[in-house]
Homo-oligomer: A and B are copies of this chain.
Amino acid sequence: MLWRASNTHRNRETAMPTNRRFLLKRRPHGEPVPEDFELASEAIPEAPAGGLVVRNHFASLDPAQRGWMDDAPSYMPPIALGDPVRATTVGRVHASDNPDFAVGDWVMGLNALEDYSQVMPGGFTSPIDVSLTDSPSKFLSAMGAVGLTGYFGLLEVAKPQPGEVLLVSGAAGAVGSVVGQIGKIAGCRTIGIAGGPEKCRRLIDDYGYDVAIDYKGKDVATLAAEIRAAAPEGVNIIFENVGGDVMDAELLNLAKHARIVLCGLISEYNAPEKVGVRNLWQVLTQQATIHGYLIMDYAPRFAEAGKVMAQWMQDGRLRIDEDLQEGLENAFPAFMRLFSGANTGKLVLKIA
């Protein structure tokens, strides 16, 4: 990672507040390395006509950002080289040329890993009521895209019925921990797959899973046998965050007409060659369905679902853990926690 020395130097001289921006400098090949990025320091922008400048306080770090760094067909354009890494942020209005937003208002929106974001009219930015929660960061976890990804993915895509078996991979992660808990609220028997004994302990103790399975060091056949032992009649719903060997083992345990919510494939985001799944054949024989799932279609219902999530948190039925990392200067190591298996709970970068 390189700092723009000239800017840094100038800013030291003038002591002007600056806008630090975490730029994508080149497209990562496989696992990102520090040299793929650059922390630049620029002048704070002015509000565009009809728009805003937002002072970012918290930014969401998500596996999806890795996909946006590739120049590949996706649901969003790739991040342009030289642009800051796109991120959902929560912050306060710093400057406004829009009558709907006053300076100081809390907002969330699709911005970037930077101190200040210029927000054009007509974007995704919306006001948030921070009084609903103990921290504005909750709008990036429970009540943000990640928590609501679990909410809509399970309740609206999989449509769980009481008594069904729900299998979640990446079960201790930001989405997985929410899915398991909502699965219990919906009356399912829940099986979580995670890496290592500590995460498996959390599945049981913190997120109420009925069964925890540690995938580490196990081949597909061994993992498949452990799932079978936990669900001899097969699983009705798979909430997939991982892919690869884990998903192959899961697919060997489908109940007839199983529904698979394909929410993420984190095991292969950094793989130069995609792995996919080998046991697709089981989807056919069990007449299962794989639903490629992104939360965007549910955006009009975020406020409604956020209130339900806030209520569940107040009632003690939903526990949300955040992995709060601090400082834009730590953006790279913080982001890499997603792939090392280091983080538990929703990864958030505190910017200010």
Contact = CB atoms under 8 A, between A and B. Distances in A.
Contact of A285 (B67, B281, B286): B67
Interface in A296-333: 297
A265 interface: yes
Contacts of A265: 280-281, 284
Interface in A269-296: 273-294
A262 interface: yes
Instruction: Classify chain A: how many residues form its interface, as a range.
Output: 35 or more
Contact of A276 (B268, B279, B285): B279
Contacts of A74: 285
A176 interface: no
Interface in A209-239: none
Contacts of A273: 278
A75 B256 CA distance: 9
A91 interface: no
Contacts of A278: 273-276
Contacts of A290: 280, 283, 289-290, 292
Nearest to A258: B292
Interface string A21-48: 0000000000000000000000000000
A73 interface: yes
A265 B276 CA distance: 15
A75 B274 contact: no
A284 B268 contact: no
Nearest to A256: B75
Contacts of A75: 256, 285-287
B284 A294 contact: yes
Given A73-B252, A289-B289, A274 B284 contact: no
Nearest to A297: B287
Contacts of A73: 252, 282, 285
A37 to B, nearest CB: 23
A160 interface: no
A148 interface: no
A228 to B, nearest CB: 10
A192 interface: no
B268 A281 contact: yes
Interface string A243-270: 1000010001000100000111100100
